Chain A
Amino acid sequence: MAPRTVAPFGPQHPVLPEPIQLKITYEDEKVVDVVPAIGYGHRGIEKACELNEYPKNIYLCERICGICSCIHGISYCEVVERLWPIDVPPRAKYLRTIWSEMSRTHSHLLWLGLLADAFGFESMFMQFWRIREKVLDLLEMTTGQRVTQSISVVGGVRRDIDDEQKKKCIEVLREVRKESEALINVLANDYTVKARTVGKGVLTKEQAIALGCTGPHLRASGVKEDCRMQGLQAYGDLGFEPIVEKDGDCYARTLVRCRELLQAIDLQLEAFSKMPEGEIAVRPKGNPPANEAVYRAEQPRGEVFYYAKGNGTRNLERLRVRTPTYANIPSLLVMLPGCELPDVPVIVLSIDPCISCTER
């Protein structure tokens, strides 16, 4: 038997922008065991949410994760609205949908760039991030911030998109779609990319469900499940269909995200054309009543689960957030053993890990 070596992967590692540690045991080039050690990003947000008043938690929840921040803020508002319940005006629903999809666009572009970087395709990384800046500019124009938008408030949204901005958005989004299509063509058909991703980290449909995977990771294994299917916000009107691939390997996960990226742009364009006029927010009356609620939304990385419990005061009794990476990490324990050492970064990246989400 070849000697075994244990290598720590992280917490500070060039491939990972975030601190997570994987203790990898390998024989020659083959990985035999992994133990994830997390906790480097734990802050204690759930407790802090009990200490703050409920309108202030929006900012805290957005900062659970800076990449999917917009959807975190919206989901928090939605779950608190369900405690009363409050009905949000239709225009606000559309605006929330648009901003959700916009942040999905930027997140998927970011991920595709990081993936290209993980196998050393540096110029592709730069190209994806160049396009991403255009989407960030749109976010800045419409919400006032590039990354943490804090656009949603309990009862609606904080800002409206006027006609001039709308025109600009549509124009830029068309441009982004065209440019990403060209890049995706390269990424999806390139020989080297295929060599690094096809057949790596395979997860079957049964395994994926048993391990509780979510999001693009689950859909790449052939399970048709997406929280947007619930038809909340404006998704019911937009004729949304989830994107599914069959193979369950890294390549399938890449394809799902590529197609979702284009779909997200299409959904935004459609939402812009159907957006009704009207109010953008209602004022909540009194404090959140003593009640419980759950809300699930689809983030770029998968399903996020919010649970809130009110007690009639301005503070919440309990808030629990289960983020997508929290559900996806156990699948690494199945995918990594048996793979080659150089494939570890690609496989780890293929679940689109977001550690600050996981640990809160």
Chain B
Amino acid sequence: MIENIKEVKKDELLAEVKKFADAKARFVTAVCNDLGDKLEVTYFFNMSPGMEMHGLRMTVGKDEEVPSTTGIFLTTVLIENEMKEMFGLKVKDIAIDFGGHMLLAQDSPVTPMLKTGAAGGKGGE
């Protein structure tokens, strides 16, 4: 079990993240999970200074668009791009959009982290 996780709706996300920004929290990371027909995204924040961690969790459909948090925390740029590439999470308006090729090359498998994605083995052979 992970402590201090709060479930939020997609529309409330930005308001909730803003609260963390106002409290001078430090963004830790986000974790995306494939639940089959839905994606579960959890954002983690550290209450600086100190070592207390809080999370925001939202569950969205695979074709739903989600807002970008880069307007509040610039540092989420990398993780949002990554989730977009790896899980096909549709994040709108990322501050620096790598267009799905931040980590993956042109000929890499698409959305490899989905459960149905490439099983691996010598580059998907």
Contacts and interface: CB of A to CB of B under 8 A. Distances in A.
- The short answer to whether A and B are in direct contact, CB under 8 Å, is yes
B1 A44 contact: no
B105 A212 contact: no
B104 interface: yes
A196 interface: no
Interface in A278-307: 291-294, 296, 303, 305, 307
Given A292-B2, A309-B33, A51 B113 contact: no
In terms of DSSP, what is the predominant structure of the interface of chain B? loop
Interface in B19-73: 21, 24-29, 31, 33-34, 44, 46, 48-51, 53, 73
B96 to A, nearest CB: 8
A323 to B, nearest CB: 10
A294 B44 contact: yes
B74 A210 contact: yes
B113 A47 contact: yes
B120 A322 contact: no
B2 A223 contact: no
B112 A44 contact: yes
Given A212-B28, A292-B1, A329-B78, A225 B112 contact: no
B77 interface: yes
Contact of A209 (B26, B33, B96, B102): B26
A121 interface: no
B22 to A, nearest CB: 11
Interface of A: 35, 38-39, 42, 44, 46-48, 51, 206, 209-212, 223-225, 227, 229-230, 291-294, 296, 303, 305, 307, 309, 317-318, 320, 322, 326-327, 329-330, 333, 359
